[in-house]
Structure 1
């Protein structure tokens, strides 16, 4: 803090410039947090003082270093106060010195308010600034050297996504310098560095392959044999050293996903079997990890599975190998009856992620397996999350296979299986299971409502005649009941789905009871403004449905649940 005063008193010597630049990135972990934000903030103040204390000619030798350091701090610092301090210091130097490269252009994009959003800084502003050659390499080097091994996992993940976005700005540098530097780090000993390096390798590889494809080049244009082997060995080395649970499993799954999306030439390679084993093992291991990490691991594994299947399991005829198809489908369906709830969740979503060519000929078996996973039995009454994910998977499967009214029930949603699908989804709306966690059936009801909407809109846009009047009546009545209930978030979701189906017009959903009256009660113009979360707004509207015979019983049922609730405000409304 004494440095700015020294600047104004002309006691400052420029040998401390390297120290100030180092202070701009100082960050040291202490326990579960870090120290250093106050040091970085003070360093920005010193740089601000430079602009006021010295003539432009005196700072010329250090302009590129100072400007790059301030840009990096303004865009990539973890703390918003430091980003804003760096932006203010940069602005002061641009205004008073006038020698910072592209100063006005950068200030327009990275002003005091723009740098307030960290995600925007990493993923958008950084790409714009990297378009100026003076800043491209310093920004990339900072992410590789300081951020992919950061103690905060959010910063590590943001940094790797930023590297993906920055790759088109310097593809040769990424391929020839950055990637070879990251590959050894991805199999190193430090967990945080290994985690960040694996994600960075995945993102950079994907970006390079997309760039090559856009320029009509081979996907391996930017890679030499050593890099390709290094990318394959990451999975083997990580498995040998240990997956590290909550960090390494999703990281390696992301690597598998990105390499598959990159269309790397690994078809027929034994590594594909290793990748499939890791995905399956990650889904089987869900009960062993903490509840906070399960969702991330599950989503990463399912995304990796979808990408892997689409790239490496389809032949030239667009079909799957029968033995492989049988193994995958059978394995996942058998997992739906596992005694562990989380394994059921993982395998349900895995079935929902399978591409069409793997579901062809096995659709009825998959739907039947998912239907059984939604049924409540005395042994698994508390498995609400498994039932939720099974309902989500049913909608995903329907969207994947598509609709064909006269088609085979083993390949399409058609007249022979649509009733069964709707019966399963409508049964989910009746789940009112409660346990020590509260109304866990609400998770199932919410998933059922979403799936009903998705399947209905799919049918409306393809084969409207598959929706009969009775099914549509049941959907709208059950949604009306949910829109009259006590828990705000479930009421809001039901109301949103109800209005989506009511006002959908491409083409309209057929057979909606009392459509004209509903459109008067819920005008299209108020769809976005009606706050279903507020009971004072929702109940006066939904009670108007009591005058419509079709909805009367269901709305009364929903209101009865609300009146019997524990919340005094809801009871009064």
Structure 2
């Protein structure tokens, strides 16, 4: 069976896309010509829009490989900025140039783009004047305001006090203009409350401006008071208020990220109390919940001293120099020992009580219904835990493990996996906890829950693969050796049998990462398993994985609740192909103990899958010349008439398929009374042919005509051969098999 098989042909067709890996910025000459033509085209609306669209198409090609633009960003930016600086440039040319600059910024990210903007003292006044003349409500020129705010952010980095740029503020005792510091603060406050993208650039401006030594002494307290007042007065009911709240929270988050702890520590409790009163975790807006989690984790880091936990697990040496020379290694070891001793002395320092509130809010964020919120909360858990003493950090790990309760939703499981991956990646999940963590991760790798008419859990399985990937990089092989077999089996099962293509890819990548980093005999051949031939039979030839793959198909796939029968049918075909790898296990364990327990249950899907599985396994056992207790199987189906009533349209083809497979297997029932039971089942099914002719969804016809399976001469099929068509199914097949003179001949 070709892997992966559970996604279906349609899903695989959608997943296969043509990728284009570029080798460089091949449109350099065309781009230079296009930018040079802006002075000629800016006056014509049609030409202006055509040039803009052409440039956007060129740049969008590099959205996934933006680093290819780096050698060319400087000259492109310079050409465009020259247009904006020129006094002879009309307003239309200036705005068009800023639109081009925004496209570059979008593709390369604002953090890289900002480094290209000039930040000399001579640029501060012109940029501030230009941004002051803009209309914040103009929807046509928002790109201009966005780039100008970023440019002003770079101007705030000049190493001089801003009051030196003010010059003469008064003339004859009358104040003729505001100081630059106040003007920049006014611009920042104005654009934090707008409803378009310049709001994001304004938050960057605040983080650069408020962290200046001269500004934080005069304006930091007042700005925080203004921000908290804005947070308190907005109700986040209208879209306008939501945007205003988002802008203020963004500025606070960036401020607490870039500001110094000593400057912000006194304000952190007040900000935290304001957020607690606002209860943003209950907001219906995902963006507000995300920025709330981000700000809370930054507050938590402000409460705690910036340090690396001395108790964290470290794999190998972090210093390249220490690995090169023994002398350096000894020196680095001595320095590390001294640092560790110093950190241990600070291990028992008092933890502010606000940290408990921060961790509680982050744990709530792990269960949020939006992925972006859970991901931000997981990163916050990892960052805050890295600054806690060992005992408190272990309590945090225990709280994260509570997310894996059967009472929790798939959101909590997903958030818990992300948090464990972050903790493991940072060395904060000690090896002593692996005994508790590994079983939960193995459960997460097969997490699949029914919700209404669909399933949930693909994101949980994907995150569990990320946990396995991070563990392989975080721990020494000796730490994972007791668990490597369990983890390898679970990852291979996900890589082979998961119905979601992203989960299969993630499991395959995590498995290869473990094979490469956890050098161990138990995973020998694993790399070849995934990369050489993607066949489940080939993987099952490794004894470590055979039974676990079979058990997974029996316990999770043949009884799958999906309305489409494809998963159950493909799972039984996989069991057919895997039977030669473990025939004794199939005959002595799977059929008597596992497969026979489902047909007598009340679950329709379990009965359907079990019947198909029994037929496929029996046929496979016949192929390997091994007989099993098939008489018991058929007797159970005959006396337990579960194909009647609800689900009959699903069960009848399955039972007839079982009869077909047992006939092909030449079971020794020629003189057995069970033959009469088979005949009765077929006759009773023929009486209800209207169930099949109605074409209801879920009825899956048998796909091949009877003479391919029955050894009777074709002449005996003359009564039904004419009715076989390419669209023929169970009706024609059952009509043919029902001839009493044919059935005994097949046995």
Separation (CA, whole Å) in 1 of partners of 2:73 and 2:163: 23
Q: 2:73 maps to what in 1?
A: 127
Q: 2:409 maps to what in 1?
A: 431
Is the 2:283–2:289 contact (alpha carbons within 8 Å) kept by the matching residues of 1? yes
- Secondary structure at the counterpart of residue 472 of structure 1: helix
Separation (CA, whole Å) in 2 of partners of 1:358 and 1:454: 21
Q: 2:310 maps to what in 1?
A: none
The equivalences for 1:93-492 within 5 A come to 116-117=61-62, 120=66, 124=70, 126-129=72-75, 137-138=82-83, 145-147=94-96, 150=99, 161=110, 164-168=114-118, 171=120, 174-177=123-126, 179-186=127-134, 190-193=138-141, 195-210=142-157, 212=158, 217-218=159-160, 220=162, 224=166, 226-238=179-191, 243-247=193-197, 249-260=199-210, 265-269=215-219, 271-273=222-224, 276-277=227-228, 280=231, 285=236, 288-289=238-239, 303-310=250-257, 314-315=261-262, 320-321=265-266, 324-336=267-279, 340-342=283-285, 344-358=289-303, 360-361=351-352, 362-371=354-363, 384-385=369-370, 389=373, 392-402=376-386, 404=388, 406=390, 409=392, 413=393, 415-424=394-403, 426-427=404-405, 430-432=408-410, 441=411, 445-458=413-426, 461-462=427-428, 464-465=430-431, 467-481=433-447, 490=459
Is the 1:349–1:392 contact (alpha carbons within 8 Å) kept by the matching residues of 2? yes
Separation (CA, whole Å) in 2 of partners of 1:300 and 1:204: 19
- Secondary structure at the counterpart of residue 341 of structure 1: coil
CA shift digits 1:32-52 (9 cap, x unpaired): xxx436864xxxxxxxxxxxx
CA shift digits 1:421-455 (9 cap, x unpaired): 3223x3499514xxxxxxxx5xx544432222112
> Post-superposition shift, 1:534?
7.7
Q: RMSD of aligned C-alpha atoms?
A: 5.4
Check 1:23–1:479 CA distance in 2 against 1; reply closer, same or farther (3 A cut). same
Is the 2:296–2:358 contact (alpha carbons within 8 Å) kept by the matching residues of 1? yes
Check 1:508–1:308 CA distance in 2 against 1; reply closer, same or farther (3 A cut). farther
> Post-superposition shift, 1:140?
6.2
Q: 1:565 maps to what in 2?
A: 562
> Post-superposition shift, 1:221?
10
CA shift digits 1:29-83 (9 cap, x unpaired): xxxxxx436864xxxxxxxxxxxxxxxxxxxxxxxxxxxxxxxxxxxx4424886
> Post-superposition shift, 1:198?
4.4
Separation (CA, whole Å) in 1 of partners of 2:69 and 2:160: 27
CA shift digits 1:397-437 (9 cap, x unpaired): 33134155545x3xxx2x3443123223x3499514xxxxx
- Secondary structure at the counterpart of residue 447 of structure 2: helix
TM-score between both structures, scaled by the size of structure 2 = 0.46
Check 1:159–1:37 CA distance in 2 against 1; reply closer, same or farther (3 A cut). farther
- Secondary structure at the counterpart of residue 166 of structure 1: coil
Separation (CA, whole Å) in 1 of partners of 2:562 and 2:131: 57
> Post-superposition shift, 1:196?
3.7
CA shift digits 1:214-245 (9 cap, x unpaired): xxx44759965743332111144457xxx343
Is the 1:164–1:207 contact (alpha carbons within 8 Å) kept by the matching residues of 2? yes
Check 1:429–1:451 CA distance in 2 against 1; reply closer, same or farther (3 A cut). farther
Separation (CA, whole Å) in 1 of partners of 2:44 and 2:477: 57
Give the gaps of 5 or more residues in structure 2. Answer: 1-35, 168-178, 305-350, 509-533, 571-747
Is the 1:257–1:308 contact (alpha carbons within 8 Å) kept by the matching residues of 2? yes
Separation (CA, whole Å) in 1 of partners of 2:551 and 2:246: 39
Check 1:189–1:389 CA distance in 2 against 1; reply closer, same or farther (3 A cut). closer
Separation (CA, whole Å) in 2 of partners of 1:456 and 1:556: 32
Is the 1:352–1:396 contact (alpha carbons within 8 Å) kept by the matching residues of 2? yes
Is the 1:356–1:400 contact (alpha carbons within 8 Å) kept by the matching residues of 2? yes
TM-score between both structures, scaled by the size of structure 1 = 0.57
Q: Which structure has more RCO (C-alpha within 8 Å, separation ≥ 6)?
A: 2
Is the 2:114–2:151 contact (alpha carbons within 8 Å) kept by the matching residues of 1? yes
Q: 2:680 maps to what in 1?
A: none
> Post-superposition shift, 1:348?
3.2
Separation (CA, whole Å) in 1 of partners of 2:441 and 2:420: 8
Check 1:192–1:345 CA distance in 2 against 1; reply closer, same or farther (3 A cut). same
Give the gaps of 5 or more residues in structure 1. Answer: 1-18, 29-34, 41-76, 84-113, 376-382, 433-440
Check 1:350–1:326 CA distance in 2 against 1; reply closer, same or farther (3 A cut). same
- Count how many residue pairs are aligned between Structure 1 and Structure 2: 431
Check 1:144–1:262 CA distance in 2 against 1; reply closer, same or farther (3 A cut). farther
- Secondary structure at the counterpart of residue 216 of structure 2: coil
Instruction: Kindly name which structure, 1 or 2, has the bigger radius of gyration based on alpha carbons.
Output: 2
- Secondary structure at the counterpart of residue 384 of structure 1: coil
> Post-superposition shift, 1:390?
5.5
- Secondary structure at the counterpart of residue 562 of structure 2: coil
CA shift digits 1:273-326 (9 cap, x unpaired): 2553377369963x5339xx98x988865553233225557436xx722xx333
Q: 1:503 maps to what in 2?
A: 472
Q: 1:108 maps to what in 2?
A: none
Is the 1:428–1:445 contact (alpha carbons within 8 Å) kept by the matching residues of 2? no
